[in-house]
């Protein structure tokens, strides 16, 4: 009899449903998917998955029997801090099953992470047999947390290349910088708008177009070349990326940053703070500028460098972005899930 497999995902978004659907096909058998609701109203999650989802409140512990499910042999657990998913994982371990931690924290190397590593090794390490992480930065942290390198797999996150793919050459696209994300302090959307406005006379043909939702939306400054839009569904975002040259994410902290992968798949130049976890996977000097998070002048300097690139440099940037983006997505995720399944 084939091992029973179950997945859990906190705030299950549409892109994760697409990843999981590919993984279930690759595994070659039905799998249970348990999720908590996303914080924004994403449409079509179950349609993207191709099956129903067992929805739970991640804050409340739950058992497999309460969900009307048998305890699986292999369980992919969403993080270690959500009571519902942790309770399910402990039950799997108590029955002799295997638990793979889905961990997206990125490496910082500070005192807090040092203490966190001690805590994890003492209280959590025994609960997990392996880990699936987004990329290079999270792999480094997982190793620090005591998980052997050979038991760490990458590719946990990734956008769908059927939705996000490169379009016209960058030199032929509008001189447009886009931001996609929450309008909150951590994302530094206000600083991005401020940085653009202060140098707007130096880049007179450029515009900043922002997409998202959040408490700071009404605080974004009014300017004729700063356009503010509300939250946009994934199906519409692909064309938005393909009509932009530069994607900007100036966050103060970002565990990984799926939107960076969406932008890279779309061939965009990348303007990223040094707090973005996925910069290690998708950014290099040919296609990106990295600036110090929270530093307005450094952000402006990086923006001016990207907007000054010539046609040949833009061609290289687009090629580099799309090439690096191939390291993640449903294909990579599904193959790694299948490998974990076979090795368990």
- Contact at 8 Å (CB) between 152 and 133? yes
- For residues 110 and 44, state if they share a domain: yes
- For residues 11 and 147, state if they share a domain: yes
Predicted pLDDT at 166: 97
- For residues 116 and 222, state if they share a domain: no
- For residues 104 and 245, state if they share a domain: no
- For residues 177 and 321, state if they share a domain: yes
Question: How many distinct structural domains can be found in the chain?
Answer: 2
CA–centroid distance for 285 within its chain: 21
- For residues 292 and 336, state if they share a domain: no
Nearest to 306 by CA among 194, 176, 187, 169: 176
Give domain status of residue 33, yes or no: yes
Give domain status of residue 276, yes or no: yes
Predicted pLDDT at 43: 75
Give domain status of residue 163, yes or no: no
Query: Lowest mean pLDDT: which of 207-216, 226-235, 299-308?
Result: 226-235
CA–centroid distance for 63 within its chain: 28
Asked whether the predicted pLDDT for residue 44 surpasses 90, the reply is no
Rounded to 10 degrees, the C-alpha dihedral 36/41/43/46 comes to: 10
Q: In what order do the strands lie in the sheet with 207-213?
A: 226-229, 207-213, 176-182, 246-249, 269-273, 288-291
- For residues 41 and 139, state if they share a domain: yes
- For residues 174 and 265, state if they share a domain: yes
Q: Which residue has the tokens 């951590």?
A: 186
User: For residues 226 and 240, what is the distance between their CA atoms, to the nearest angstrom?
Assistant: 15
Average pLDDT of the residues of the chain: 96
Predicted pLDDT at 41: 66
The CATH number given to whatever domain includes residue 214 is 3.40.50.2000
Domain of 122 in residue numbering reads as 5-158+328-343
- For residues 289 and 199, state if they share a domain: yes
- For residues 152 and 208, state if they share a domain: no
Predicted pLDDT at 234: 81
- For residues 21 and 82, state if they share a domain: yes
- For residues 212 and 243, state if they share a domain: yes
Predicted pLDDT at 116: 94
Give domain status of residue 309, yes or no: yes
Give domain status of residue 106, yes or no: yes
């Amino acid at each position: 009899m084939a091992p029973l497999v179950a997945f859990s995902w906190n705030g299950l978004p549409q892109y994760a449903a697409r990843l999981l659907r590919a993984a279930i096909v690759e595994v070659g058998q039905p799998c249970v998917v348990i999720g908590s609701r996303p914080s924004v109203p994403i449409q079509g999650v179950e349609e993207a998955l191709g099956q129903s989802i067992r929805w739970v409140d991640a804050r409340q512990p739950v058992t497999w029997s309460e969900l009307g499910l048998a305890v699986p042999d292999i369980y992919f657990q969403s993080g270690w801090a959500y009571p519902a998913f942790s309770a399910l994982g402990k039950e799997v371990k108590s029955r002799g099953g295997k638990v793979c931690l889905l961990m997206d924290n990125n490496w910082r190397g500070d005192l807090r992470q040092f203490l966190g590593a001690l805590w994890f090794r003492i209280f959590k390490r025994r609960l997990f047999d392996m880990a699936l992480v987004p990329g290079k930065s999270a792999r480094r942290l997982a190793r620090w947390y005591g998980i052997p390198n050979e038991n760490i797999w990458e590719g946990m996150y990734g956008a769908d290349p059927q939705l996000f793919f490169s379009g016209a050459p960058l030199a032929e696209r509008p001189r447009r910088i886009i931001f996609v994300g929450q309008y909150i302090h951590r994302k530094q959307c206000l600083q991005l708008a401020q940085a653009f406005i202060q140098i707007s006379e130096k880049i007179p043909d450029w515009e900043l177009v922002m997409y998202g939702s959040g408490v700071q939306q009404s605080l974004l400054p009014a300017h004729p070349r700063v356009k503010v839009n509300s939250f946009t569904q994934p199906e519409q975002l692909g064309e938005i990326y393909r009509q932009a040259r530069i994607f900007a994410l100036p966050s103060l902290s970002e565990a990984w940053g799926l939107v960076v992968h969406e932008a890279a798949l779309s061939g965009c130049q990348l303007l990223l703070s040094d707090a973005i976890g996925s910069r290690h996977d998708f950014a290099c000097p040919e296609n990106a500028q990295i600036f110090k998070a929270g530093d307005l002048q450094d952000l402006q300097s990086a923006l001016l460098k990207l907007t000054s690139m010539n046609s040949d440099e833009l061609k290289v940037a687009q090629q580099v972005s799309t090439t690096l983006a191939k390291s993640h997505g449903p294909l990579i995720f599904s193959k790694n899930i299948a490998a974990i399944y076979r090795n368990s």
